[in-house]
Amino acid sequence: MRKPLILLILGAVMLFGGATSAGAAASSHHPLYMPNASNMSNPALQPPPVCCIPVYQVAAGVPAPVNMAYFGGHVQVTPKIYLVFWGWGQSGAFNHTTPGMPTYDPDGAAARMTNFVSAMGGTAWAGVSTQYYETVNGQNVYIQNPSNVLGGVWYDNTNPIHNNVSGLELAQEAQRAVAHFGVTDLDNAQFVIAQPQLYNEAGFNSGAGYCAWHDYTQPQYYPGVQPGISFTNMPYVLNSGTGCGENSVNTGYFAGRLDGFTIVVGHEIEETITDPGAEDVINGQNLGGWYDFSAWENGDKCAWVGYTDGIAPPSTVPGGLNNITGSDGKQYPVQSLWSNDSAGGTGWCAGAGDDLPVTG
C-alpha cells in the first residue's frame, strides 16, 4: 500500500505544480525512508518533492545540494530518545548465540545502539542540529544539544512480535512505549522500535531497498494510534549486510560488523529531531520541520556519502562516513548531517569529523 500511496501523492503534487508551498496539498503523508547504499536513486524511496522544483537525481555517494528550509512544524528542542527492543528476548528472535553474550543480543547490536544514544548527546555531530529551530509566537527556539538524550530502554518481551510486522504494528508498539515510559511531552520524544534478527518489518524484508524509516502518527494513516508520536522503524540492518553499512567505516569482520546500526539509527534520530512531523501536511497545515525542496531531510542529504556498497573504507570525501567519539570516549561510526551553515553558508555535510575546511 505504501508504494501506491507514494505514486498517488506524487501525482497530486505534479497536478498542483503551480502552487508555491507544501500547503497546496490538503493532506499528504509518507514514511521517510533511508535507502540502502544501492538504492539512493530508487524513485520508489524518494519523498515527493515539496513543490515546483524539478526533482534532482542525486548520485550515490555524494551530498545532495541546496540548503534546507523551515516548513513551520515543531522540532525537538530538548530531544529524548526512547529505545524499544521489541521481542528481542522472544523465542525465535535469533538463529544463533554467541558465548558470553546475552541470548537476546548475540551480536551486541542492542548494546551498541544503547551505548551510542547514551553517548551522542553533546557531541559535535549532534550539535549540527543546533542551527535549526522552530518558530513559536514569532520567536525562533533553537534545538539544543544536551549531554543526555537517552530517555529510556525497554526490552519488550510481553507484547509478541512476528516477522513481517506492518508499519501500523510498529506505530502501535510506539504507543505502548509512550505508556510504558509515561511520556507526556511527545513533541520532544521519539521512539526507536528496533527489531531482532528474525522478526522484521515487511518492507525491509521484501527487499524494498531501505534500511529504516521514520514517521509521525496521524489518525488517517495510523488508525487507532494516538496522534503525534514520532517513531522510527529500525530493522536488524545487519541482515542487509554492506548495503546498510556493515564494514562501511571500520575494517575487519568484527570491528565493522555493527557499523550500520549506529549509522542508520543516527540518521533517523537526527532527522526526527529536525523534522519530527515527518513532512506531514494535515488539512493544509504543514507539520514538517526542516528539509529541502526535494523533501530531503538532514540525514537523507548526506546518506552514504563517500561510500560505495561493499568497498572497504576509509572514506576520504569531506562529509563522508566516519567514526565520532562519544561522550563515553568510545568510537561510533556515523554519517554526517546536512549543515546549512557549512561551506560559508552554501551548506555541506558536517559533524562526522571530516568536514570541509570552510565551516560556517
Binding site for other proteins (CB under 8 A): 98-101, 108, 111, 250-255, 257, 309-312
- Shortest Å distance, C-beta 95 to other proteins: 11
- Shortest Å distance, C-beta 44 to other proteins: 23
Number of C-beta neighbours around residue 316 at 10 A: 8
Contact 281, 288 (CB under 8 A): yes
The set of residues, in sequence order, having a beta carbon less than 8 Å from that of 215 and lying 6+ positions away, is 31, 32, 167, 171, 221, 230, 231, 233, 278
Identity of the residue, 80 or 257, whose beta carbon is nearer to other proteins in the bound complex: 257
Identity of the residue, 126 or 321, whose beta carbon is nearer to other proteins in the bound complex: 321
- Shortest Å distance, C-beta 254 to other proteins: 4
Could you list the beta-strand ranges (E) of 5-57.
32-35
Identity of the residue, 135 or 251, whose beta carbon is nearer to other proteins in the bound complex: 251
Q: Whole-angstrom Cα distance, residue 58 to residue 130?
A: 26
Q: Residue with C-alpha cell 546475552?
A: 102
Identity of the residue, 231 or 332, whose beta carbon is nearer to other proteins in the bound complex: 332
- Shortest Å distance, C-beta 257 to other proteins: 8
Identity of the residue, 59 or 255, whose beta carbon is nearer to other proteins in the bound complex: 255
- Shortest Å distance, C-beta 320 to other proteins: 16
Contact 262, 229 (CB under 8 A): no
- Shortest Å distance, C-beta 96 to other proteins: 9
Identity of the residue, 250 or 322, whose beta carbon is nearer to other proteins in the bound complex: 250
Identity of the residue, 82 or 155, whose beta carbon is nearer to other proteins in the bound complex: 155
The secondary structure of 202-258 as a DSSP string is: HHHHHT-SEEEEEEE--TTTSTTSPTT-EEEEE--GGGGGGGGTTTSSS-STTTTTT
Q: Whole-angstrom Cα distance, residue 344 to residue 360?
A: 5
Give the three cell numbers for residue 324: 565520532
Q: How far apart are the first and last CA of the chain?
A: 42
- Shortest Å distance, C-beta 42 to other proteins: 18
Could you list the beta-strand ranges (E) of the chain.
32-35, 69-70, 80-86, 133-136, 139-142, 150-156, 189-194, 210-216, 230-234, 281-282, 285-286, 290-291, 322-325, 331-334, 337-339, 348-350
Identity of the residue, 195 or 247, whose beta carbon is nearer to other proteins in the bound complex: 247
DSSP structure class, residue 16: T
Going by C-alpha positions, the residue among 158, 154, 190, 358 that lies closest to residue 289 is 190
- Shortest Å distance, C-beta 39 to other proteins: 16
Identity of the residue, 40 or 77, whose beta carbon is nearer to other proteins in the bound complex: 40
Q: Whole-angstrom Cα distance, residue 295 to residue 288?
A: 10
Identity of the residue, 261 or 338, whose beta carbon is nearer to other proteins in the bound complex: 261
DSSP structure class, residue 305: T
